[in-house]
Amino acid sequence: MSLCVFFVWECGGSDAKYSKCLEDGDCTIRINVKLFSGDIPVSPDSKFWNSPQGPAKTSVDLGPQLITNPQWPNPSIKKVLISVARTEIQIAVRLEWQDDSVDRGIDQSRLYTDQAAIMFPLNSNQEVPPITMGGENSPVNIWQWKAGRQVAADAAEQGSATPLSPVEDLNAEGFSTLTHQDAQNVSGKGMRSGNGWQVVFKRNLTNPDEHDIQFVGSTPMAVALWNGGNRETNGQKGLAGWILLDFGDGTD
């Protein structure tokens, strides 16, 4: 695939298609992404994420997955709080949701672990991809956190020169096409808070990796959450459709 597909600053225009995703109904809501200075904390319980001067929290409803079998008409997680922040170098997304049970896939099947994922279109010179993890010739970049990986990352953190990340950097072109990237460029951390989870995903805005989204302007993002205690895995999840992350660059 040509560089023009991935590196949109070489092709003229970063979000010509995305600018109308709200008007066209492809995006459901808008989240304004405020510009900050300094290093964005990866810890979800940092004061940065909870102060009045920090990024705002937007409540988003999660719906069922009714597109592919097995369908999941009644996901147990109904809402997620989303906060997004950026600097001139970094972008970070924080998710917070209620989940009374803690399911790390240790004492039970590893299939059923609490999970969170955010998804971005890879080709910003195309229409918004299908919400079904992209489609043929409409790839997506997915960042996925798992409670089971968080346990392993926490255990390996001390004394490790190359710590394990609880977040995976993935690609897909539709259901059953999920691919692990050789280069893992996303960091993150998940923590319990009361009766729920808080998770932060963080990455540089741009990089040379053609398999990664390049944040050169406003872009859509989708969210999926899994409750391992409700035997949710793969397509059995709660889903929020495309949300426009507005960088304040003139997109509508």
**pLDDT digit string, tens, across residues 69-124:** 888 888 999 999 999 999 999 999 999 999 999 888 765 556 789 999 999 999 87
- Residue 108 is predicted with a pLDDT of 52
The string of pLDDT tens digits covering residues 206-221 is 999 999 999 999 999 9
Q: Is 21 or 160 the better-scoring residue by pLDDT? A: 21
**pLDDT tier at 161 (50, 70, 90 boundaries)?**
low
Nearest C-alpha neighbor of 119 from the set 129, 109, 110:
129
Nearest C-alpha neighbor of 243 from the set 222, 215, 216, 217:
222
Query: In the chain, which ranges are continuous DSSP H helix?
Result: 3-6, 47-50, 147-156
- Whether 250 shows a pLDDT value over 50: the answer reads no
The mean of the pLDDT values for the chain is 87
- Residue 110 is predicted with a pLDDT of 62
**Quick one: 1 exposed, middle or buried, by C-beta within 10 A (0-12, 13-18, 19+)?**
exposed
SS3 151: helix
Q: Which strands form 238-246's sheet, in the order they lie side by side?
A: 30-32, 238-246, 219-226, 115-121, 140-146, 167-172, 179-180
Strands 30-32 and 34-35: unpaired
Averaged pLDDT, 150-163 = 73
- Residue 251 is predicted with a pLDDT of 46
Q: Is 233 or 170 the better-scoring residue by pLDDT? A: 170
Determine contact, residues 213/168, Cβ cutoff 8 Å: no
**pLDDT tier at 1 (50, 70, 90 boundaries)?**
very low
Of 85-99, 119-133, 232-246, the range with the highest mean pLDDT is 85-99
- Whether 42 shows a pLDDT value over 80: the answer reads yes
What ranges do the domains of the chain cover? 3-246
Report d(CA 11, CA 54) in Å as an integer. Answer: 34
- Residue 158 is predicted with a pLDDT of 60
Q: Which amino acid is at 77?
A: I
End-to-end CA distance of the chain: 29
- Residue 236 is predicted with a pLDDT of 87
Angle at 128 between CA 123 and CA 132, to 5 degrees: 100
Q: Is 67 or 162 the better-scoring residue by pLDDT? A: 67
Instruction: Pick one of 3.40.50.970, 1.10.10.60, 2.40.110.10, 2.60.40.1190 as the CATH number of 3-246.
Output: 2.60.40.1190
- Whether 68 shows a pLDDT value over 90: the answer reads no
Positive or negative, the Cα torsion across 74, 234, 193, 184? Answer: negative
Contacts of 33 (CB under 8 A, 6+ apart): 55, 84, 85, 86, 91, 218, 245, 246, 247, 248
- Whether 182 shows a pLDDT value over 90: the answer reads yes
What proportion of the chain, given as a percentage, has pLDDT over 90?
67
- Residue 72 is predicted with a pLDDT of 85
Contacts of 59 (CB under 8 A, 6+ apart): 79, 80, 81, 82
**pLDDT tier at 5 (50, 70, 90 boundaries)?**
very low
Q: Which amino acid is at 155?
A: A
